[in-house]
């Protein structure tokens, strides 16, 4: 029972909805400001990180929406703008292993747990592209040097940290254009019209086609869900 740091796409539906509930409980405790209530390691970890809790809630809701769950709740905490609690409690690679153990007896999440660095990078590539194209190129070159069974704990840490940074407007547009290429037709005239849509509408269009077509690359992409959380 926790608030995870890895992308919500890795969570199965039970864990996704559970984290959503726990996050609201954490916010309630932190905003009550009553001595003795902030007594759990998980709750105290988020003290002073109201903005991050608010953004994590948006990420959860974006993934919930993608899976057909509506949510009308909100989180209004704003302390510590654009700062997050550290990742030292359980590093991202450890969180992925926790899920692997759980999924031996449970259904998995939308995004398959990565078997190697190359798969992990493919899952995050468009999210990183939305943040910085040069960073995307640099990490891509680095990942190309990984061998199939190399440990990728450092890569998991780096990408999880990168995903905490807001994407840029131009970066989102660039990522969406690449994503549209996976679900569009054969480059007919409607493609240019679709790509001129507002980013929020274009993402919805991509999500619709990706789910309808069960497009494998996008269905395993963090960007399919998480970009929505940064467009408000």
Task: Quickly list DSSP for 62-118.
Answer: HHHHHTT----------SSTT----S-SS-HHHHHHHHHHHTTSS---SSPPPSSHH
Residue 165 pLDDT level (bands cut at 50, 70, 90): very high
Q: Which two tokens stand for residue 148?
A: 């199939």
Q: Which two tokens stand for residue 172?
A: 């989102």
- The H or E element that residue 18 is part of is helix 13-32
Chain mean pLDDT for the chain: 93
12-36 tens-digit pLDDT: 999 999 999 999 999 999 988 655 5
Domains, the chain, ordered by start:
1-113 (1.10.440), 115-232 (no CATH)
Specify the DSSP class assigned to residue 230: G
Would you say residue 188 has pLDDT above 80?
no
Q: What is the mean pLDDT of residues 91-116?
A: 97
Would you say residue 114 has pLDDT above 60?
yes
Tokens 């991509």 found at:
206
Radius of gyration of the chain (CA): 18
pTM for the predicted model, two decimal places: 0.93
Whether 43 contacts 3, CB under 8 Å? no
pLDDT at 34: 54
pLDDT at 39: 59
């Amino acid at each position: 029972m926790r608030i995870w740091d890895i992308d919500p796409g890795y969570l199965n539906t039970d864990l996704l909805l559970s984290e959503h509930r726990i996050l609201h409980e954490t916010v309630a405790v932190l905003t009550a400001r009553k001595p003795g209530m902030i007594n759990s390691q998980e709750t105290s970890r988020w003290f002073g990180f109201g903005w991050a809790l608010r953004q994590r809630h948006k990420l959860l809701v974006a993934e919930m929406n993608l899976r057909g769950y509506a949510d009308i709740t909100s989180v209004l905490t704003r302390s510590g703008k654009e700062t997050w609690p550290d990742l030292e409690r359980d590093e991202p690679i450890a969180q992925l292993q926790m899920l692997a153990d759980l999924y031996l007896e449970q259904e998995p999440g939308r995004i398959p747990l990565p078997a190697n660095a190359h798969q992990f990078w493919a899952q995050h590539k468009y999210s990183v592209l939305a943040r910085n194209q040069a960073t995307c190129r640099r990490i891509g070159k680095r990942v190309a040097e990984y061998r199939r069974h190399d440990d990728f704990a450092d890569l998991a840490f780096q990408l999880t940290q990168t995903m905490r940074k807001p994407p840029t407007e131009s970066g989102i547009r660039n990522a969406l254009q690449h994503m549209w290429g996976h679900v569009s037709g054969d480059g007919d005239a409607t493609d240019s019209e679709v790509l001129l849509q507002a980013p929020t509408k274009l993402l919805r269009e991509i999500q619709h086609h990706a789910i309808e077509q069960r497009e494998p690359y996008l269905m395993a992409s963090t960007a399919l869900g998480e970009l929505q959380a940064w467009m408000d």
